[in-house]
Structure formats: C-alpha cells, structure tokens
C-alpha cells in the first residue's frame, strides 16, 4: 500500500515537480497551495509525511507546522527560500523534522523523504520480539521504552516525534557520558555532520520544551559547553 505524502507549496511549478518525483517513487501524493486546504486534507486523510513550504499565502508555514504538531507526529520537511540559520532553527524548534533550502535537487529531497519515512515506520511498527531489543530505561522519573516507543516523565506520557524519541533514547542509553553534536547527528540522522549545523541544538531545545525543562538549568538533558550533551 502506497504511503500518503502531502505537499503544501504555493509555487505550483515546485509543487508539480516534487509531485512527479514522489509519484515516480510509488508514493500517493496530495498537493495543495494553501494552508487551509492542507489542514482539511490532514484531518481527513491518513498521512505518512508532509512537505511544507515556509511562505504560504494564507498562513505562515511555521504557524502551520506548529498547528500540525498539536495532534500529529508524522514527519514534516520544511521548504524554505531563506538561508539564514535562524529561519531553519525556528522550523525545527516548532516541530519540523528536517528542512531543505530552495533551490534544491529533487533527488536530495526524495532521499530525505525516504530517511524520515524509514524512521517513522520503525517508530510505529516496533517488532513483537522484544528480547532482541534493549528493554527500558528509567532515570529519576524519566521512563523510556524502545520496545513500545513510548516515553513518560513522572507518570505523564510525552508526545515525542520519532526523531525526538531517537535523540532521547540515544542519550539515555549513554547515561553519564557526554555525546557530541557530531556523534548525535550522524548516529540519529545518519548523515555527515557539518560544523555550522544547528539541527541538533534546535531539536534539543524542542525536546527540553516538551519535558518542561528550564533552558538554563535543565534537570535531564544537560549541555556540556564546547563538547555536547549528556543525561546524568
């Protein structure tokens, strides 16, 4: 059964191009040019991933991303014509999983779509044979289970995206050790890390927000300046 992907971009030429590439890969595509149409589709169709442009005629793409994240966990890839790091960080902290800057190579976008879908599929289809998977970790009220892909803090379940879950699991698994941004990115994202990459920082900020962690003195995910992140 083909996976459903939603494209939201008011530049019809770009939306049409992305649609062609996705359709050729066997995906079922929904394509809209406004946020209102996209929201209607999201509420009526079972989607696996959204490709979302930042600049839309009726709603800021960042606001739409935030609205989607209130009720849905499927991956969101942001398309942006802006190259400033702050624009990328904004999208990631509001719940996007990845971003790609226009103009882009359609084949690179397809590769990123496949990466996000693989992660999302693993998240939603945990193997029944739990003996082969590391079990569960409990750190001072933070409980995370790789077999069920669920996480709770002081008894309250956290609504984490597959990417956020992977980040937290990786850090919990290495409790007491400092994990560099490079190691975390290359292990979780599966891509080569670049020195100016702020993706990890943005996702850590989003994770702390969901855990209601104060940025200056977090109880769980701590920053070791100049080195990386750790859970003690």
- Regions of the chain short of the pLDDT cut 70: 1, 82-89, 122-134, 195-197
Q: What is the pLDDT of residue 67?
A: 92
Contact by Cβ (8 Å): 54, 78: yes
Residue 58 is classified by DSSP as S
What pLDDT was estimated at residue 165? Answer: 92
In three-state form (DSSP H/G/I as H, E/B as E, the rest C), the secondary structure along 86-148 is HHHHHHHHCCCCEEEECCCCHHHHHHHHHHHHHHHHHHHCCCCCHHHCCCEEEECCEEEECCC
Angle among Cα 182, 114, 43 to the nearest 5 degrees reads 110
Given this model, what pLDDT does residue 123 score? Answer: 65
Give the model confidence (pLDDT) of 117-159 as tens digits. 887 876 666 544 444 445 788 888 899 988 788 899 988 999 8
């Amino acid at each position: 059964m083909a996976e459903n992907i939603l494209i939201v971009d008011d530049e019809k030429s770009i939306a049409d191009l992305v649609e062609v590439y996705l359709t050729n890969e066997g995906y079922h595509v929904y394509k809209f040019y406004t946020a209102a149409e996209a929201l209607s589709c999201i509420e009526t169709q079972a989607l696996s991933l959204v490709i979302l442009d930042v600049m839309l005629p009726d709603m800021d793409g960042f606001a739409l991303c935030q609205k989607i994240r209130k009720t849905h966990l499927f991956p969101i890839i942001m398309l942006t014509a802006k190259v400033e790091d702050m624009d990328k960080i904004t999208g990631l902290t509001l719940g996007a999983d990845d971003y790609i800057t226009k103009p882009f190579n359609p084949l690179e976008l397809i590769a990123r779509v496949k990466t996000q879908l693989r992660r999302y599929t693993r998240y939603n289809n945990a193997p029944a044979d739990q003996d082969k998977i590391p079990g569960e970790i409990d750190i001072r009220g933070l409980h995370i289970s790789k077999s069920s892909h669920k996480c709770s803090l002081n008894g309250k379940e956290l609504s984490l995206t597959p990417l956020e879950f992977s980040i937290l699991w990786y850090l919990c698994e290495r409790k007491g050790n400092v994990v560099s941004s490079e190691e975390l990115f290359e292990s979780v994202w599966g891509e080569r890390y670049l020195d100016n990459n702020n993706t990890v920082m943005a996702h850590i900020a989003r994770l702390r927000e969901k855990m209601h962690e104060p940025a200056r003195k977090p109880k769980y995910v701590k920053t070791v300046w100049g080195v990386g992140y750790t859970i003690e």
